[in-house]
Amino acid sequence: MAGLSLSTGATEIDRAIARVLGPQGSAQRKARLNLLTRRLASALGVAGIVFALSGQGGIAALAGLADLTLRPIARTFHDALWRKIQERREAALSLDGGGI
Contact 48, 60 (CB under 8 A): yes
Terminal C-alpha separation, the chain:
74
pLDDT score of 65: 96
Q: Residue 4: pLDDT above 80?
A: no
- DSSP secondary-structure letter at 25? T
pLDDT band for position 17 (cuts 50, 70, 90): confident
Q: What is the mean pLDDT of residues 85-90?
A: 86
Least confident of 24-28, 60-64, 66-70: 24-28
pLDDT score of 13: 86
The C-alpha atoms of residue 41 and residue 58 are separated, in whole angstroms, by: 18
* Residues 86, 91, 93: CA angle, nearest 5 degrees: 95
The C-alpha atoms of residue 6 and residue 61 are separated, in whole angstroms, by: 35
Q: Which of 41, 75, 2 is nearest to 49 (CA)?
A: 41
Q: What average pLDDT does the chain have?
A: 86
The C-alpha atoms of residue 27 and residue 35 are separated, in whole angstroms, by: 12
Q: Can you spell out the DSSP letters for 53-82? A: HH--HHHHHHHHHHHHHHHHHHHHHHHHHH
Q: Residue 29: pLDDT above 80?
A: yes
**pLDDT digit string (tens) for 37-63?**
999 999 999 999 999 999 999 999 999
